[in-house]
Amino acid sequence: MSFVSSGDMKIQSILFAALGAAGLTATMPLAAKPVQQLEASYGMAAAVAGEARLGEARFVQLWTDDPDTFSSHWSSGELPDGVTSHRARRGEMLKMYIAIDGCQRDRRGICMLQGTFQLRRPDGSPDGDPIIFTAWQGKAPPKGQLALSGANIGAFIGDDDPAGDYTASLTITDAVSRQSGTSTVTLTFTD
């Protein structure tokens, strides 16, 4: 767990990684879900709010104020109904999971997705430097199945940060196809 801080806004970057057989760092999915189940569960609002495409592949930002319940539901095969949120009070954390549907495989069947996360304050100014991380490296998730990346990012506002709407931008670049997509979500922090 590392904390990245700029000004008074703190971003908690939690990057879980497993060591691959060849000594490579690889993020692993918690479980895969059919895309249609997620869309039916959350409706189009969730897909539109945080979805972006990279050619035929896509990814979506899923934010929650209850990461334990979210992870428990997802890992047990249940959809995490009712635990997504884009709103939190001062001092409460919102955590982002990244769900991925497909990516371009290299000749070994491996795909690699790089992520760049940037949070912007209510006035539009960047809140710290972008966080750059590996969103996926390893066997490609099955097409038509959403798999969670092992990379997660948490955000909260401190006592000196302004309440309001923060913009969370996530760009994913497929290192094999060289395509990128950007997803933007508004996070509302209140007093």
More confident: 159 or 55:
159
Instruction: Tell me the pLDDT tens digit for each residue of 121-174.
Output: 999 999 989 999 999 999 887 777 778 888 889 999 999 899 999 999 999 999
Task: Calculate mean pLDDT across residues 64-70.
Answer: 85
Give the 3-state secondary structure of 87-144: EEECCCCEEEEEEEECCCCCCCCEEEEEEEEEEECCCCCECCCCEEEEEEEEECCCCC
Other beta carbons within 10 angstroms of residue 190's beta carbon come to 11
CATH number at residue 81: 2.60.40.3880
Lowest mean pLDDT among 44-48, 70-74, 93-97, 185-189: 44-48
Residue type, 66: D
Query: pLDDT class for 47, splitting at 50, 70, 90?
Result: very low
Write the pLDDT tens digit of every residue in 86-121: 889 999 999 998 988 888 999 998 999 999 999 999
The whole-number pLDDT of residue 82 equals: 62
Number of domains in the chain: 1
Which region among 56-65, 74-83, 89-98 has the lowest average model confidence (pLDDT)?
Answer: 74-83
**pTM of this structure:** 0.76
Question: Using one digit for the tens of pLDDT, what is the confidence trace for 4-39?
Answer: 322 333 343 333 222 222 222 223 333 444 444 555
Domain of residue 72 covers: 2-190
Q: Are 19 and 143 in contact (CB under 8 A)?
A: no
